[in-house]
Structure 1
């Protein structure tokens, strides 16, 4: 049984001012080739398929076309919701996609048994049991109690999540006993496990007030496919608890790690190997730091002969204030196939180099500004949640119309 573990696609993302549509299309085309070459039986997307709850139409089209193409390869697809995904958006096509060998889990179910899936091997025989756990919201697994302190709420939430996984594991064991085969039991999750390394593009949205879930509270699954963290990594020193990471860099600080998928193989009902599959770079990006003189030297040394423009993040170090910094940097790249997406200053205080990370509008995406404003409001009741969804949908429509006008212009 061979499974491909991936997560955090963030279809529809706008990176500062740039669409990632071409990169995502290139990644999906490459991925389909890998599924065929690697003889993958099932593919798991462990959350954050989309970048927003109301993704643009082209992002939905990419997703739908991918489902159809993957089905033609005879590969089963399991899509789990992440904290960026809308339950309604993922759930609306759930029954239709089930006809294309695709199982979508948009939220935690009141019936835990509905989160148990049987993954089949190339012969069509049961090859593994999957405890399909999407992003868990506090209300999915617990009820709030008046008078609890912050620490008590955090502890109660951690215990509730652990109990949910334990209940699923027990049901999976019972299901395995009904088969005349030794099947591995796999789990998914979209959360921050204790001890992982994050990146700038991972928002501080965990599970309610729970900042990190202790990996020791997971039951004895044979493999745990996690999402939410964009750098591929093991959890602790375990071999079987993994983050696949995002397929493309979602922030400049992710450039230091190789993007990858994980090919997970089971033999005789046991985990036999976890092999990284390195993803090619579909859009050249680079970070440059230093004084103005050093930056000019680095820019001169850059190879800009590629077909695609090189996206740059430039950080100017030094105490000198330059009112014409933007013009100077722009002059350095004039006529070259380079684009500056981010220009920052780093200043020294008291002899220690401290980077200022002030957020400016040019570094924010329109939907991020919108979400920051929404965060100031309270949406608790069903009517309020529906109102929030209508606001998100309307904003997405307006944004798509503006982007279409810009493209035509």
Structure 2
């Protein structure tokens, strides 16, 4: 049985004013190629298929088109709801998509058995059992109790989620016996686990309650396909508990990650092999840091990754020149004529203040305004005439501020 594990597509995402539509379209086409090339029996999307609960119409169209194209490959599709997804919106087309070989589990079902699925091989024979667990909202498994502390609520939610996994796994074991006792059992999840490494684009799920779910609370499934964390990784060093990560970089701190989907092979004995399939970069994305002089060279190097049709999207963090008021203009001048596009310019606040006081063990409160200006001026590489000119300008400004008519 061959399964392709992916998650966190975030269809419809706008990245600092930029649409990801072309990237998602290219990724969907690439996914169809992988399904055909590797003879995949079932594709699992472990949550956050959409970026918002009310995605734009083009994102819904991409979703539907992908399902139709995947059907032609003979591969089954299972879509699990994530914390970004709307249960109501995914439920709208649930019965219709079932006719196209796609099973959607938007949220926790009223009947637990509805979350237990039989996955089939291409010849129609059962190949695995799936405990299809989407993002679990506290209201799905908990009843509010008066007087509970924050710690009590966290423990109650953790226990309720663990119980949900155990109950569904028990149903799967019974179903396996019914079908002959030879099928591997797979589970999914959309949550943060203990030890998982997140990124800036990952939204906290359980604010003020469950911080992370321990791996010891998962049932002994042959493979556990997780979503929500965008960096691909094993959980706790365990081979069979994996985050596939997002296929696109969803924040600048993910820009240097190699994105991937996971090809998982199982048989009656359980997990056989996991093969990461690297996802091509459809839109270059880089975060650059340095002074203006350093950035000039960095931007030229970054430009080599872009084209006129697909410029590199840049985040620029300015360090030693962060006091300048015309940073945006200066950065735009450095990018002139290059296949790059700056989406965000940031100043490394505090760098100048730290440099002014660190060597002497002082704080800014201990320095006068004139001393701060003098110390800051000493950090610049200026000609004596320029220093004299700036000191004169500074003195004139101070004099004007002290004037009663100012």
TM over 0.5: yes
SS at match of 1:239: strand
Query: What is the deviation of 1:305?
Result: 5.5
SS across alignment from 2:238: coil
Specify the alignment match of 2:310 in structure 1.
308
Q: Residue 333 of structure 1 corresponds to which residue in structure 2?
A: 335
Q: Per-residue deviation at 1:320?
A: 4.7
Distance 1:171 1:208 in 2: 32
Match of 1:17 in 2: 17
Displacement of 1:269: 3.8
**Cα-to-partner distance string for 1:365-387 (whole Å, 9 max, x where unaligned):** xxxxxxxxxxxxxxxxxxxxxxx
Structure 2 runs not aligned, ≥5 long: 359-406
Shift of 1:319: 6.0
Aligned residues: 352
Find the residue that maps to 2:239 and give its secondary structure: coil
Q: Tell me the CA shift for residue 262 of structure 1.
A: 0.3
Assess if the C-alpha contact under 8 Å between 1:304 and 1:336 holds in 2.
no
Matches within 5 A, 1:211-360: 211-301=211-301, 302-303=303-304, 306=307, 307-318=309-320, 320-347=322-349, 348=351, 349-350=353-354
Report what 2:169 is aligned to: 169
Deviation at 1:256, TM superposition (A): 2.3
Shift of 1:74: 0.7
The runs of at least 4 consecutive aligned structure 1 residues that moved more than 3 Å come to 349-352
| Alignment of structure 1 residues 119-138 onto 2, 5 Å | 119-138=119-138
8 A Cα contact 1:137 1:208, kept in partner: no
Q: 1:191 touches 1:206 (CA, 8 Å); kept in 2?
A: no
SS, match of residue 48 in structure 2: coil
Distance in 2, Cα, partners of 1:151 & 1:181:
41
User: Which structure has the bigger radius of gyration?
Assistant: 2
CA deviation string 1:166-210 (max 9, x = no partner): 000101000000012410110000000010110011012237721
> Residues 305 and 17 of structure 1: is their aligned pair in 2 closer, same or farther, counting only changes over 3 Å?
closer
User: Retained in 1: the 8 A contact 2:306–2:312?
Assistant: no
> In the superposition, relative to structure 1, how do residues 296 and 170 fare at CA in structure 2: closer, same or farther (>3 Å)?
same
Provide the secondary structure at the position in 1 that maps to 2:39: coil
Map residues 47-66 of structure 1 onto 2, 5 A cutoff: 47-66=47-66
Secondary structure at the aligned position of 1:117 is classed as strand
| Structure 1: 5+ residue stretches without partners | 353-409
Partners of 2:144 and 2:75 in 1: CA distance = 41
Q: For 2:206, what is the secondary structure of its paired residue?
A: coil
What displacement does 1:129 show?
0.4
State the distance in 2 between where 1:98 and 1:223 align. 24
For 2:143 and 2:25, locate their aligned partners in 1 and report how far apart those are by CA, in whole Å: 42
Task: Give the TM-score taking structure 2 as reference length.
Answer: 0.85
Query: Could you state the TM-score of these two structures normalised by the residue count of structure 1?
Result: 0.84
1:342 positional shift: 1.2
1:96-132 superposed Cα distances (whole Å, 9 cap, x missing partner): 0000010000110121111000000121100000000
Q: What secondary structure, in the 3-state scheme, does the structure 2 residue paired with 1:350 have?
A: helix
- Provide closer, same or farther for how the CA distance between residues 319 and 141 of structure 1 changes in structure 2, counting only shifts above 3 A: same
Q: Partner residue of 1:38?
A: 38
Q: Residues 153-232 of structure 1 correspond to what in structure 2 (within 5 A)? A: 153-206=153-206, 209-232=209-232
Q: Deviations over 1:283-342 (max 9, x none)?
A: 111111111110012123331662311111110012651011000000111122210011
Q: Do 1:129 and 1:185's aligned partners in 2 also have CA atoms closer than 8 Å?
A: yes
* Cα pair distance change 1:284/1:240, threshold 3 Å: same
Give the whole-Å Cα distance in 2 for the aligned partners of 1:208 and 1:346: 30
Measure the CA separation in 1 of the matches of 2:80 and 2:177: 26
CA RMSD after TM alignment: 1.3
Partner of 1:356: none
Q: Distance in 2 between matches of 1:206 and 1:31?
A: 31
Contact 1:192 1:206 in 2 (8 A): no
Paired with 1:183 and 1:320, the residues of 2 have a C-alpha distance of 60
Displacement of 1:268: 2.6
- 2:395 aligns to what? none
Distance 1:320 1:250, change over 3 A: closer
